[in-house]
Amino acid sequence: MRFAALLDGTVATAAVQAQALAGFLGDGLRGDLAGETFVLYCDERDRERLVDLAPTRDVRLVKTAARRPERMFDCLTAAARGGDTALFLAAAGATGTEIVTRLACRAGGGVLTDALTIEARPQRLVCRKNVYSNHLVGRFELRARPWCVTVDACWNDTRRSPSPSHTILSESDESGDAGRPGATTDTRATGATGAAPFADAELLEAPSSGDLAKSRFLVVAGYGAASREGTERIADAARRMGADFGVSRPVAMNAWAPMDRLMGVSGTRAAPALCIVAGASGAPALYWGIEKAGLIVAVNPDERAPIVANSDAALLDDAVAVLEELAEIVAGRRTHE
Amino acid sequence: MSAVRVLVCFKVTPDFEALREADWAAAATQGVQTRYVRRVLNCFDESALELALGLSDAAARLGVTVELGALSIGGREVDPYLKTLVALGYERAARVAAGADGDIADTDAAGVGVGAAAGAAGVDGAGLDRAASGLDFAPAVVASIIASYVLRADHSDLLVLGCRSGPGDGGTVPFRVAEALGWPCLTRVTSIEPLGDGRLRVGAMVDDGLLRVTLRPPCVLAVGNALVSHLRAPTLKDRLERRERRIDVLAAADLGLDIAAELRREACVPTALETIDRRRRGAVIAGATPRDKARTLFDSYLSDLIETL
Amino acid sequence: MHLSREAIVEGLQRIVGPADVITDRRILVESSVDNFRKLQNIFDVHTMPVPAAIVMARSTEQVAAILRFAGEHTINVIPRTGGTATEGGLESAVPDSIIIDGSAMNRIVDIDAYDMQATCQCGVPLQALEDRVRELGLTTGHSPQSKPVAHMGGLVATRSIGQFSTLYGGIEDMVVGLEAVFPGGIVTRIKNVPRRAAGPDIRHVVIGNEGALCFITEVTVKLFPYFPENNVFLGYTLKDMKTGFEVLRAVMVNGYKPSVARVYDPGDAGLHFSHFAADDDCVLLFMAEGPAGIAKATADGIAAIVAGFAECTRVDSAYIETWFNDLCWGPDKITAEDERIRQTLNVNRTTEISADWSSINDIYQAARARIIAEIPDITMMGGHSSHSYINGTNMYFNYFFNVVGVGPEEETAKYYLPIIGIICEETLKRGGSIVHHHGMGKARAPWVRDEYGSSYYILETLKHAFDPEGIMNKGTIFPL
Ligand SMILES: Cc1cc2nc3c(=O)[nH]c(=O)nc-3n(C[C@H](O)[C@H](O)[C@H](O)COP(=O)(O)OP(=O)(O)OC[C@H]3O[C@@H](n4cnc5c(N)ncnc54)[C@H](O)[C@@H]3O)c2cc1C
């Protein structure tokens, strides 16, 4: 059986995707499968770097002009219709979800997003993914082929490093005039759609959540920060320690911190070596964002908060106070050296 | 200028956060019993409902009419939400009936995954009982109901819905609907503004930033982590004035759908639930003051580790 | 002589040291209001005088010294512990007040499982005490919704009541003794005894004083055995609140002591029970607890009584038990609610009163009808009865309105106070009490004379006797 991995090189998260895919192919995927990578790119200057990132030796290049990935569909649908490729894999995320879902719809296959593990059997793909906001893991079977799956973003411990040398199997250029910036070309679009429904797409903010996903040292603030000021003080302590800063959903929803700092089921999932959770109860929806951390330290005055039992070490105290003290110690140590 | 006809789809779910540890622990063998917990609006759908009202307000200021409609698939417990939406100015309110008064099995009739037969047979965990789980793990069926409603009944040209809902947390429904309708879809939408010429200015989070897009319906907008996250409340007077407005209750068959057959076609089938053990050591670090505790933490856990980061 | 803010701060620093005197402007401004004017904090629009300082007291001696200092310079002091007050008790009515914060006095002094009493300092969160005694198979029996956030001092000072009051009573039935500091720095200790008839019960001078007479530094409360495994839940739907009150009365006068006995009107029920009750249903619910035999007999007896009311339809008890397990409001729920208000300007307020069985339904109906008719922008007007007695019950009005056309600082004047006014009028007219358990605070102080009638003499004399300079929490209980 063959698989095709999809690497969206038109967005800044390509490296994170590549790492997730490589890790997943190494540890998350069981079954006798060989495969290739479709690399989507829009800028010639990125081409080489993206090819290097590909998690398989065999690579197919698709060039588009857009930052949105729909131009890929013709190639993918053709590959799917060829019947040879049983499994399409993309990294979790908005574009990954869109690609696998639309592909499954067009090719008549089954789709599952955010797979933790998959196992290819002759007639079905057995997948596990988090359900009920990460309270449980559900096991699913994909029956109809092609199986279209996004893989959990947290396969960072790349035991199997990306292939050293790559073979380019094919190249296609889809960046023709249909691909105006931001244009979605929908192969099934009816007359009702009209031309170029997404005119003038414009990227407003610098990428940042991508950094969170890659973080090695993360401080996550929760409601225990108690206010915007408390949140800012924890963020500042994180900065002084050289840590990245994330927040729980309520903190982001209260606009105590920007939405792109959000960790968990509706935000980023990371696998840092060290994660300090400051003033969050550690509800499963948040915990999902940090559960792959090497060492989890909880700071929470409430010893019954789930995060305490789900941490390696816990400090039962006020989050802001502890983080500020810790920042002083860590910063002192660093300047000392 | 012609009016924009908007349909917002929403789901009323059990408040999963109100379940206790013991309920989750029993899930692998007994399924998740959600019948007894209170209901809430799926958070992304609540944003969608409020964003659409905001769109309608802003359009009215520009002299553009936005006709709002709301659709949910569910049992009678959805009706109070629909009444609220009608009072808030949603002109169309419809429910595709599930549970006791519909042709779709109701989740809370039995709780998801009870699968007594599979459990007794001792197969790995309890099988998820499709009949009992309603449409909770059947995104393809949900999408075909929504698409059929748009095509056969509502004829809306802007579809707004949450980007994801529990318990499946798959996030595929908006794209499936978009595929079925042949419309483009923008996901993780955080703002929707009218431009006055029939086009919309939409903000959406993408994997590497915030995208601002101008588009002309028809299209599907899947709402993500918008800062607008709470639905406004209608006054008692609003309720009284719109009391007589009808809520359409449809059976899936009215939309030409055979739910049993659709469910059989669903390509992704849930088979079991597993509990998750997240416990770690949970070693409590003692100390008299925050400073003492921070110092002990640093000395015994962090000093070496931090060097490697 | 009138002291400047700086001089007040210096004076306090001399008593407790600089670290325990908070002068951060932002914290002071936020502390100028409590939940009564919570919109001012939510929208960061402030109109109340800013306190001069918050002083963190760490001992009874420090409290005494602060009160002496305040007395010498006639500075208004506002006692505070958990900070969850809902009626303006923490509001600074006059400029340059001192907030004496007792939350650092948070030591559980003694848990005596033989004499079944626990002693703790004023700043012990009730939840912390409850968790400790639960480890011994005991309970305080006190469970206000604010249990995770309110502290023992404030709970005694407001005369609070918990969700299991029908069995365990209000805080006044639990406090056996206490320590309090009066103006002039006079430290008084009321000893812990089961009962005494050595004159008037002076505990009641302290319980419910809302910081207007003295500062409570320590309290001793009763303990009870805890048998959660015996809890039995009963739930019913019905169409008419009048019937609901009748059922509650029948349960009480027949001598049953459920720990929870409540009836919700349709509006309030819609907030909690829409997954099993229709939108015009009232919901009636009970919990029986205690030793197995008692819990069972209580539940059976109540079920038999309710069976006599044809209007009541039994619902699966699991609905009630599940609801019950998720009742209390921790800081996260409070912050989430604030955020909802910030986004929607839809504000939730409550006002609780009590009256005898003959009047309660009339008060409920009359106040509700008037509020709907007279107050604009109401989005929900409902309530429930949650604490019953042999001679009557309480009504907890629960209402929401949209704030329209005025700034957040005018919300109380445009909506909240007029609603409170209607409820107080309708209650007083029928001989009820305008405050069942949140305290008078500053919100309902203007009605104090009407509430007390000729007995106001006793109340006023207490104030004059214990606080002759009028430094204790100006405007609370006694209007300015
Ligand atoms: C979400 C929520 C739910 C609630 N549920 C309930 C409920 O179920 N039952 C109930 O009875 N109340 C309830 N309340 C009201 C409030 O929690 C109680 O009034 C509580 O007793 C206040 O305790 P506290 O420690 O927060 O006091 P604070 O808010 O700090 O103070 C309350 C009042 O007591 C005075 N005071 C505080 N400490 C002292 C002291 N040491 N000596 C003298 N005076 C003092 C203050 O000056 C003020 O007037 C609720 C409030 C909220 C916000």
What are the pLDDT digits (tens) for B53-62? 999 999 999 9
A236 and A176 in a common domain: no
A217 and A132 in a common domain: no
Least confident of A235-244, B168-177, C323-332, C467-476: C323-332
Q: Is the CB of C127 under 6 A from ligand 1?
A: no
Fold assignment, C331-449:
GMP Synthetase; Chain A, domain 3 (3.30.300)
CA B88 – CA C176 distance, rounded (Å): 53
* Portion of chain B with pLDDT greater than 70, in percent: 88
Nearest-Cα residue of chain A relative to residue C26: A229
**CB within 8 A of A34, min separation 6: which ones?**
A1, A2, A3
- Contact between B133 and B35 under an 8 Å Cβ cutoff? The reply is no
C27 close contact with A: CB closer than 8 A: no
Greater confidence, B39 or B112? B39
Q: At what angle do helices A14-23 and A44-53 cross, to 10 degrees?
A: 20
A121 close contact with B: CB closer than 8 A: no
pLDDT tens-digit profile of A207-219? Answer: 555 578 889 999 9
Q: Give the domain extent around A118.
A: 2-184
Domain count, chain A: 2
Mean pLDDT across chain C: 97
* A138 to chain C, closest Cα gap in Å: 24
Let me know how long chain B is.
309
CA C350 – CA C381 distance, rounded (Å): 10
Radius of gyration of chain B from its Cα atoms, rounded to whole angstroms: 23
Minimal Cβ distance to B236: which of C279, C326, C372: C372
Kind plus residue range of the DSSP H or E element containing B220 = strand B219-223
Nearest-Cα residue of chain B relative to residue A302: B284
Greater confidence, B76 or B239? B239
Note which residues in 284-313 of chain A have CB less than 8 A from chain B: 284, 287, 291, 295-298, 303, 306, 308-313
DSSP string for residues in A26-51: IIIEESS-EEEEEEEES-HHHHHHHH
A260 and A169 in a common domain: no
B137 close contact with A: CB closer than 8 A: yes
Residue B228 φ/ψ, nearest 5 degrees: -85, 105
Question: Helix, strand, or coil here: B168?
Answer: coil
Measured distance between the N- and C-terminal CA atoms of chain A, rounded to whole angstroms: 54
* B273 to chain A, closest Cα gap in Å: 4
Contact B230 C344 (CB under 8 A): yes
Which burial class, exposed, middle or buried, applies to B4 when counting CB atoms under 10 A from its CB (0-12, 13-18, 19+)?
A: buried
Least confident of B11-20, B95-104, B183-192, C115-124: B95-104
CA C397 – CA C436 distance, rounded (Å): 11
pLDDT band at B126 (very low <50, low <70, confident <90, very high): very low
Best to test chain B binding among A11, A97, A308 (most B CBs inside 10 Å): A97
C-alpha A90 chain-centroid distance:
10
pLDDT surpasses 70 at A56:
yes
Contact B236 C275 (CB under 8 A): no
* Portion of chain C with pLDDT greater than 70, in percent: 100
pLDDT tens-digit profile of C76-121? Answer: 999 999 999 999 999 999 999 999 999 999 999 999 999 999 999 9
Domain boundary among A137, A165, A184: A184
Q: What's the pLDDT score for residue B21?
A: 87
Contact B232 C344 (CB under 8 A): yes
A166 and A35 in a common domain: yes
**CB within 8 A of B177, min separation 6: which ones?**
B143, B146, B147, B150, B159, B161, B183, B185, B220
* B64 to chain A, closest Cα gap in Å: 20
Q: What's the pLDDT score for residue A13?
A: 83
Least confident of B155-159, B186-190, B238-242, C335-339: C335-339
CA torsion sign for A147, A148, A153, A159 is positive
Q: Report how far apart, in Å, the C-alpha atoms of A178 and of each of A70, A100, A196, B186 are.
A: 11, 22, 8, 18
pLDDT surpasses 50 at A188:
no
Q: At what angle do helices C5-16 and C60-72 cross, to 10 degrees?
A: 150
CA C381 – CA C349 distance, rounded (Å): 10
Let me know how long chain C is.
480
pLDDT band at A179 (very low <50, low <70, confident <90, very high): very low
**CB within 8 A of C302, min separation 6: which ones?**
C234, C251, C256, C258, C286, C288
pLDDT surpasses 80 at B297:
yes
In this prediction, does ipTM exceed 0.85? yes
CA C189 – CA C225 distance, rounded (Å): 27
pLDDT surpasses 90 at A160:
no
Residues A276-297: b if buried by 16+ CB within 10 A, e if exposed: bbbbbbbbbbbbbbbbbbebbb
Mean pLDDT across chain B: 87
How many Cβ atoms sit within 10 Å of the Cβ of residue A165? 7
User: What's the whole-number mean pLDDT along residues B220-246?
Assistant: 96
Looking up tokens 């929908």 gives A186
Least confident of A156-170, B104-118, B133-147: B104-118
User: What's the whole-number mean pLDDT along residues B22-28?
Assistant: 90
pLDDT band at A155 (very low <50, low <70, confident <90, very high): low
> By C-alpha distance, which of C444, C448, C459, C358 is closest to C397?
C444
Q: What's the pLDDT score for residue A11?
A: 81
Residue A147 included in any domain: yes
Q: What's the pLDDT score for residue A156?
A: 58
Q: Is the CB of C153 under 6 A from ligand 1?
A: yes
A261 and A164 in a common domain: no
> What chains are in contact with C, requiring at least 3 Cβ pairs below 8 Å?
A, B
Instruction: Decide the pairing of beta strands B66-74 and B4-10.
Output: parallel
pLDDT tens-digit profile of B86-123? Answer: 999 999 999 999 865 666 665 443 333 333 333 333 33
Least confident of A246-250, B235-239, C4-8: A246-250
Domain residue extents for chain C: 5-103, 111-225, 228-309, 331-449
Domain C228-309 has CATH 3.30.2350.10: no
For chain B, domains (ranges, CATH) are 4-278 (3.40.50.620), 281-309 (no CATH)
Contact C335 A253 (CB under 8 A): no
pLDDT band at B3 (very low <50, low <70, confident <90, very high): confident
What is the DSSP secondary structure assignment for residue B158, as one 8-state letter?
E
Note which residues in 177-236 of chain B have CB less than 8 A from chain A: 178-180, 182-188, 190, 203, 205-216, 218-219, 224-225, 227, 229
Q: Is the CB of C123 under 6 A from ligand 1?
A: no
**Closest atom, ligand 1, to C-alpha of C170:** 11
* B107 to chain C, closest Cα gap in Å: 13
Substitution site in C67, C81, C151 for ligand 1 pocket (most atoms within 8 Å of beta carbon): C81
Q: Give A100 Cα–ligand 1 centroid separation in angstroms.
A: 54
Looking up tokens 């396969």 gives A155
Best to test chain A binding among C149, C339, C343 (most A CBs inside 10 Å): C339
Q: What's the pLDDT score for residue A194?
A: 32
A301 and A164 in a common domain: no
> What chains are in contact with A, requiring at least 3 Cβ pairs below 8 Å?
B, C
Minimal Cβ distance to B282: which of A182, A184, A314: A314
**Helix extents (H) in C151-265:** 152-157, 165-168, 203-206, 241-253
Q: What's the pLDDT score for residue B121?
A: 30
For the domain that residue A320 is a member of, what is the CATH number?
Answer: 3.40.50.1220
pLDDT band at C2 (very low <50, low <70, confident <90, very high): confident
Residue A197 included in any domain: no
CA A32 – CA B244 distance, rounded (Å): 62
A180 and A219 in a common domain: no
Show the tokens assigned to A161. 């490093």
A165 and A35 in a common domain: yes
Q: Report how far apart, in Å, the C-alpha atoms of A223 and of each of A249, A291, A318, B248, C86 are.
A: 9, 19, 11, 41, 22
- Contact between C325 and C259 under an 8 Å Cβ cutoff? The reply is no
Q: C5-103 sits in which CATH class?
A: alpha beta
pLDDT surpasses 90 at A83:
no
User: What's the whole-number mean pLDDT along residues C59-64?
Assistant: 98
Q: At what angle do helices A73-82 and A94-107 cross, to 10 degrees?
A: 50
Instruction: Decide the pairing of beta strands B185-194 and B219-223.
Output: parallel
Best to test chain C binding among A233, A248, A251, A253 (most C CBs inside 10 Å): A253
Contact B282 A260 (CB under 8 A): no
**Vertex B153 angle, CA B147 and B156, to 5°:** 65
Q: What's the pLDDT score for residue C180?
A: 98
Kind plus residue range of the DSSP H or E element containing A110 = strand A110-120
The 3-state secondary structure of A209-255, one letter per residue: HHHHHHCCEEEEECHHHCCHHHHHHHHHHHHHHCCEEEECHHHHHCC
> By C-alpha distance, which of B73, B266, B146 is closest to A112?
B266
A224 and A95 in a common domain: no
A121 and A6 in a common domain: yes
For the domain that residue A102 is a member of, what is the CATH number?
Answer: 3.40.50.620
A281 contacts in C (CB within 8 Å)? 332
Which burial class, exposed, middle or buried, applies to B250 when counting CB atoms under 10 A from its CB (0-12, 13-18, 19+)?
A: buried
A46 and A168 in a common domain: yes
Q: Is the CB of C139 under 6 A from ligand 1?
A: no
Q: What's the pLDDT score for residue A198?
A: 60
- Contact between B14 and B33 under an 8 Å Cβ cutoff? The reply is no
User: What's the whole-number mean pLDDT along residues A65-89?
Assistant: 75
Q: What's the pLDDT score for residue A209?
A: 54
Q: What's the pLDDT score for residue A212?
A: 85
pLDDT tens-digit profile of B163-184? Answer: 999 999 999 999 999 999 999 9
Kind plus residue range of the DSSP H or E element containing C456 = helix C456-466
Contact A194 B301 (CB under 8 A): no
Q: What's the pLDDT score for residue A180?
A: 38
Q: What's the pLDDT score for residue B99?
A: 65
Show the tokens assigned to B141. 């069926």
pLDDT tens-digit profile of A123-148? Answer: 899 999 999 999 999 999 999 999 99
A227 and A180 in a common domain: no
Specify the pTM. 0.93
Compute the count of residue pairs across chains A and C with CB atoms less than 8 Å apart.
16
Greater confidence, C396 or A94? C396
Q: Is the CB of C117 under 6 A from ligand 1?
A: no
Q: What's the pLDDT score for residue B106?
A: 52
Q: What's the pLDDT score for residue B117?
A: 31
CA C473 – CA A188 distance, rounded (Å): 72
- Indicate the CATH number for domain C111-225: 3.30.465.10
pLDDT surpasses 60 at C465:
yes
Q: What's the pLDDT score for residue A206?
A: 56
DSSP string for residues in C238-273: ES-HHHHHHHHHHHHHTT---SEEEEE-HHHHHHH-
User: What's the whole-number mean pLDDT along residues C339-351?
Assistant: 96
C22 contacts in A (CB within 8 Å)? none
C-alpha B157 chain-centroid distance:
20
Interface of A with C (CB under 8 A): 223-224, 226, 229, 250, 253-254, 281, 304
Q: What's the pLDDT score for residue C467?
A: 98
pLDDT surpasses 70 at A177:
no
